[in-house]
């Protein structure tokens, strides 16, 4: 009988610790995302371009996420724009935005 009571107590403790672990992981994720946005010189909705590809490419940024490898880096997610300036169907992730520039509007 004592073993089943102890087992129930331990199960309850494990459940509370798992909940706390999940809450902490969520807080860490939010903090990493905020750090990535602070380190990123671009913003969501901004159009950037690169002429280092086979043809000019314009991308509208749809989201910014953190890079799990290094705290100072970020990833840009966007949609490749059509020639007429509308959003295309192709999505892109830019890991190294060094060759990209802001489009002056």
- Which residues constitute the domain of residue 15? 2-102
pLDDT exceeds cutoff 70 at 97 = yes
Pairing of strands 101-102, 57-66: unpaired
Instruction: Report pLDDT digits (tens) over 53-93.
Output: 656 688 999 998 886 666 667 889 999 999 898 999 999 98
Our count of domains for the chain comes to 1
The structure's pTM equals 0.69
**Whose CA is closest to 65, among 38, 44, 36, 42?**
36
């Amino acid at each position: 009988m004592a073993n089943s009571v102890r087992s129930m107590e331990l199960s309850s403790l494990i459940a509370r610790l798992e909940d706390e672990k999940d809450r902490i992981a969520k807080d860490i994720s939010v903090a990493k995302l905020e750090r990535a946005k602070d380190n990123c010189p671009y913003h969501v909705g901004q159009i950037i371009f690169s002429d280092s590809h086979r043809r000019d490419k314009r991308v509208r940024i749809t989201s910014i996420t953190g890079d799990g490898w290094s705290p100072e880096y970020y990833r840009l997610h966007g949609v490749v724009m059509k020639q007429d300036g509308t959003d295309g169907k192709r999505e892109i992730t830019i890991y190294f935005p060094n060759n990209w520039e802001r489009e002056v509007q």
